[in-house]
Structure 1
């Protein structure tokens, strides 16, 4: 009796394992798409020339499930209407569409952002969701909604998480000091190889290499030391944000 029971349990185990494998294979082979991140910020302050143009275009990166195809595939996205976090007005942005290139496992959806005077003192948030189509029927994966913040006021840049290890904690006053010191309108660093990195979600936007970014960090650190030496007992401090009143430090 025990022998029969053991055999039955073993058979069920094999059957369940087989089903699990089938489910995994089905998931891995199903053409699906999902956002490669949760959010980004576009700031016209960092792209002042585009205020004169009145607009700019950014890429929202996506990844796919399933196999790469030997042709370009279409991506569909729409506004997540009814979302309580949606504050951006229709005229502030326009979804231009996107593709996953042939033989690729990633792609991007282009969104045009339009300058408006309302952005000068506020941050507006657009919320997007992916829409299934013949190329990508599966969209109910992780990271279903993407936030795009649009502004023309000083605010923490979208890539500060990648800059923190070189520039330290963020505040608007510290960021202004950094930009004034470098003479740049932004620090467009995303990864070591800059635009040449094949995983860069927006090579036209994130152009700076690690070597370039570190060179600017060294320049800023020298300027910070010079400021502190000329203000003994009164080092440069964060004037706003979570670290207001604390001395600015760099790693």
Structure 2
């Protein structure tokens, strides 16, 4: 009987310790934290050029979405970001982030990454990599990499310039739709389709088809009214 009591005692102690450990894990998991919510197949970067805008445009805005882990609160909670090593963007000069807080009662917020057009961007490209960091209200949340993303869910990268350059995904994504790249063609496509973020691909086939149709019709009208469109190398701009 004494042996049975001792076994039951040891079992109860073990069960209690296990329960405490689980409670600690739950408390840790429920610790309020925040991370980038990456829509569109994990998009977590943007390469932005003011060269695709008219000269009167001095700012532009990119949306950033944040989500929390844990429970909503009845007051606003700030989100803290820092620039990672290797960034040369200057906060307040090249960019700023507005609406950087989780509103009371909410689990998600759409913040605004605002870019500023500066003279030095005519011949340079600025790099910034934003990272979510802890503050007194919200800790850094998930740090895994979602499918289709290049960075973990605490990071967002951007480049900023005012010069034209070939989009990094052109040959892989846009070449089958629009043919060989030129700066003139890119400007023409931007004007005829209204699309500006050429380092991000349009995934829906119907949207791709609409862009191609708009571009072809605009090129047809240009050639009908003004003759062939020549690029910066003297070659005729053509579309497949």
Length-normalised TM-score, structure 2: 0.57
Separation in 2 of the partners of 1:32 and 1:110? 20
- Deviation of 1:65 (Å): 0.8
SS at match of 1:173: coil
Mapping for residues 5-154 of structure 1, pairs under 5 Å: 18=19, 21-37=22-38, 38-46=44-52, 48-49=53-54, 51-80=55-84, 83=85, 85-89=86-90, 91-136=93-138, 138-139=139-140, 141-142=142-143, 143=152, 144-154=154-164
SS at match of 1:45: helix
Q: Deviations over 1:177-228 (max 9, x none)?
A: 4662561342568889xxxxxxxxxxxxxxxx8755542244557899xxxx
Which protein is bigger by CA-based radius of gyration? 2
Pair 1:183 & 2:192 matched: yes
Separation in 1 of the partners of 2:66 and 2:178? 28
Separation in 2 of the partners of 1:215 and 1:115? 30
The equivalent of 1:197 in structure 2 is: none
Distance 1:76-1:166 versus aligned 2 partners, 3 A rule = same
Whether the aligned pair in 2 keeps the contact of 1:178 and 1:220 (CA below 8 Å) is no
- Deviation of 1:115 (Å): 0.8
Whether the aligned pair in 1 keeps the contact of 2:175 and 2:181 (CA below 8 Å) is no
Whether the aligned pair in 2 keeps the contact of 1:96 and 1:109 (CA below 8 Å) is yes
SS at match of 1:52: coil
The equivalent of 2:225 in structure 1 is: none
Distance 1:222-1:78 versus aligned 2 partners, 3 A rule = same
- Deviation of 1:139 (Å): 1.5
Separation in 2 of the partners of 1:24 and 1:175? 55
- Deviation of 1:9 (Å): 11
- Deviation of 1:44 (Å): 1.4
The two structures, once aligned, show a CA RMSD in angstroms of 4.8
- Deviation of 1:32 (Å): 0.3
Separation in 2 of the partners of 1:210 and 1:69? 41
